[in-house]
Structure 1
Amino acid sequence: MTPTSALLSTRPWPLLLLLTLLLPGLVQAQQPTAVIAARATLSSWSDPLESLGTLRADESVTLSATVTDIVRELNFRDGDTVEAGRLLVRLADDEAQADLRAAQALRDERRNAVNRLAQLQSRNLAPRADVEDARAQLRQVEAEIQALEARLADYRIQAPFDGRVGFRNVSLGTLVTPGTELVTLDKLDVMKLDFTLPEVVLGQLAEGLSLTATSPAFPNAVFAGEIASIGSRVDPVSRSVTVRAELDNPELRLRPGMLMNVVVQRAPRNALVIPESALIPQGQRQYVLVLDEDDDYRVARREIGIGARRAGEVEVLEGLAEHDLVVAHGTERVRDGQTTRLLGILDDDTSIPELLRRGRDQAEANG
């Protein structure tokens, strides 16, 4: 064998070996790029306004004594929930009760006198003037009884509405005088939340706007409510208006005086929403990669107009339609016109890490 023929016979082997090594990489490079997509969906949207507010009870009162006497009964404990009309405190009313009984006895006597004189007058045995005088005296004693009964009510301190009492600051036998504070009572099932907002947003406020409130005391709780009324005046110093909202408090966790973080849902509307991760900013413009579901998920680069943003989402004003499919993860690895391999579509029950893990598991299962 000549040297030339020996060389020709050995050259194909390195070439075949090189092709064998490069072929898997070439095949892998030709596979579509894996991406995760999201659909443009209509969602409730609003422009939030944030403020700090202070809670007040829906109804609140400090019950005080209006007469001077000693405490005879205390019918509550600290923090009790009481119903309207419940007797909370009774003061010693022995003297007032005695005066009432005496007035009632006098009323019975004068009523009998009126009846006797009326009978005599019907037989012309008594002048009509005597009957009228007796009736006037009866009306006088009846008025005195009403006054005594009203006075007796001052000795009985009752709950004017359903609510929760505060600390008891008096004891049995304590001598109280008019103005002595006996107990506080707060209606807590509904709370009033007062906060201020700049006057420049006054035209965007209205009764019934929804809001949420949170407190450091309950970091995992969100309390929902709505604006109940808007102040009639603007503070000329701070240029702000006071707003009052109402929050349901069925579990009675909220307390008067608590500081709340308030977020008012301004300008509520339905908006077209996509994940913020789908945006490709370029100067002042924003683009997304739209996937054609009928053409192997081929990518089309499209400019869109956006509005407000919130955590992880952006409002789309133009350039997309509802149900359009856009690349939410992998935008930096694909180009306009390329086909892609869809790992999954984001929704409320999935996340990007979860879809990536599923893609890896599927790839390993396929070898």
Structure 2
Amino acid sequence: MPSILSPVSTRPWLPLLLLVLLLPGMAQAQQASAVIAARASLSAWSDPLASLGTLRADESVTLSATVTDIVRELNFRDGESVEAGQLLVRLADDEAQANLRVAQALRDERRNAVNRLAQLQSRNLAPRADVEDAQAQLRQAEAEIQALEARLADYHIRAPFAGRVGFRDISVGTLVTPGTELVTLDKLDIMRLDFTLPETVLGQLAEGLPLSATSPAYPDEVFAGEIASLGSRVDPVSRSLMVRAELANPEGRLRPGMLMNVVVRRAPRDALVIPESALIPEGNRQYVLVLDEADDYRVARREITIGARREGEVEVIEGLVADDLVVAHGTERVRDGQTPRLLGILDENTSIPELLRRDRGATEANG
């Protein structure tokens, strides 16, 4: 009686043949995993140190009256920009002007007397002592004029420097007395930013260290500056040091009293940087997948030593050199020794969505 055998059992070599035929395709599919790469590049780097600070005007003054009199003129508007030396407020100075004219007339009289006596003395018609007395009286009159002119300046309040005035809270005809505040004046083209830092970082601070500052008033803008000076004392209670920085303010948008978020960039240096997404952590060790451009982008797993991190990037201390090509996206799809399909290399002008759109378009065109 003949035995009944299945077709597969009569061909024991068939499963082996199918496996041999499928292996190249499986290997090719595995090796053709798509990845996106990035180059290790040198970039400006620093260790950030955050704090909160308050803005102050580069120069700020409250102009006050030093005499008692009535306001005669107001030559400014609220918030107006003024030049150095510009007359802002004039008090009633009629009496001071009259006293000055009297002193000037007396000076002219004594000057004429000196000239007459000098002519007579040159012809030996007047004693030298009379000439000297007349010259002394002339100097006395000139000194009196200088004193009256200085007193008259108290009636003319001028801007000591160029800047922006505040609100006008007085009117023409107001009686002011010594100490009465007339107007504020702030120099706003350069702003001073005062903030504190812990004493533990004192050894890492120096004048000229760069920093950046942001304000809730302008959330999308970063104001650059640098440390101008360090405080001479450490607060024994808070153990902090006062630091003053300078920020350029050419458009006058920053105002005294504003709260600023400050980030001091310590230890500025050129660092080797790669995307943080390229890291493959294993315990306390970090690895990356390096692509060999000379060998069809074959993958080589390499251990590296990293330093500081910032948003989306990491500093590489050891294990890579500039221009090394590493897998930035797709590290979970490739292994050491494989040859992936490179979609593109990230740079300042290329993004991941753009590379994916290009690959999708190329696939659809070839399909």
| TM-score normalised according to structure 1 size | 0.92
Opposite residue 112 of structure 1, the aligned amino acid is N
Query: Tell me, what secondary structure is at the counterpart of 2:117?
Result: helix
CA deviation vs aligned residue, 1:261-292 (integer Å, no higher than 9, x gap): 00011000111000000000000000001111
Corresponding residue for residue 203 of structure 1: 203
Does 1:250 pair with 2:262? no
Structure 2 equivalent of residue 299 of structure 1 = 299
Mapped partners of 2:286, 2:131: distance in 1: 100
Q: Deviations over 1:124-147 (max 9, x none)?
A: 332222222222111111111110
**Secondary structure of the structure 2 residue equivalent to 1:237:** coil
How many residues are aligned here? 356
The residue number in structure 1 matching 2:67 is 67
% identical equivalent positions? 84
CA distance in 2: counterparts of 1:310 and 1:28, whole angstroms: 37
Output the amino acid matched with 2:76: F
**Which amino acid in structure 1 is aligned with residue 294 of structure 2?**
D
2-side partners of 1:28 and 1:284: how far apart? 34
* AA of the residue aligned to 2:134: A
Contact 2:78 2:167 in 1 (8 A): yes
Cα distance in 2 for partners of 1:288, 1:35 equals 13
Say whether the 8 Å CA contact 2:31–2:334 is kept in structure 1: no
3-state SS, counterpart of residue 294 of structure 1: helix
Distance 2:27 2:321 in 1: 36
1:133 aligned partner: 133
Q: Is 1:285 the counterpart of 2:285 in the alignment?
A: yes
Alignment partners' CA distance in 1, 2:338 and 2:27: 16
User: Contact 2:55 / 2:257 at 8 angstroms: preserved in 1?
Assistant: yes
How far apart in 2 are the matches of 1:111 and 1:318?
Answer: 88
Residue of structure 1 equivalent to 2:187? 187
Report whether the alignment pairs 1:157 with 2:157: yes
What are the within-5 Å matches in structure 2 for residues 1-367 of structure 1? 26=26, 29=29, 32-367=32-367
User: 2:213, 2:222 within 8 Å by CA — same for their partners in 1?
Assistant: yes
SS in 2 for 1:67: coil
User: Which moved further from structure 2: 121-130 or 215-224?
Assistant: 121-130
> What secondary structure does 1:314 align onto?
strand
Question: One-letter code of the match for 1:99?
Answer: N
User: SS at the partner of 1:51?
Assistant: strand
Please give the alpha-carbon distance, in whole angstroms, between the structure 1 residues aligned to 2:64 and 2:101. Answer: 27
Q: What are the Cα deviations for residues 73-112 of structure 1, in whole angstroms up to 9, with x where unaligned?
A: 1110001001101111111100000011111111111112
Q: Distance in 1 between matches of 2:204 and 2:57?
A: 27
Give the root-mean-square deviation of aligned CA atoms: 2.2
Shift of 1:184: 0.5
Q: For residue 125 of structure 1, what is the amino acid of its counterpart?
A: L
My pick for the range that moved more, 314-323 or 120-129, is: 120-129
In structure 1, C-alpha distance between the alignment counterparts of 2:40 and 2:121, rounded to whole Å: 97
Between the aligned partners of 2:30 and 2:113, the Cα distance in structure 1 is: 120
Shift of 1:360: 1.8
1:212: Cα distance to partner? 0.4
Which amino acid in 1 is paired with 2:347?
A: D
Cα pair 2:289 2:331 within 8 Å, conserved = yes
Contact 2:31–2:338 (CA<8 Å) still a contact in 1? no
**Matched residue type, 2:219:** P
Alpha-carbon distance, 1:114 to partner: 1.7
Unaligned runs of 5+ in 2: none
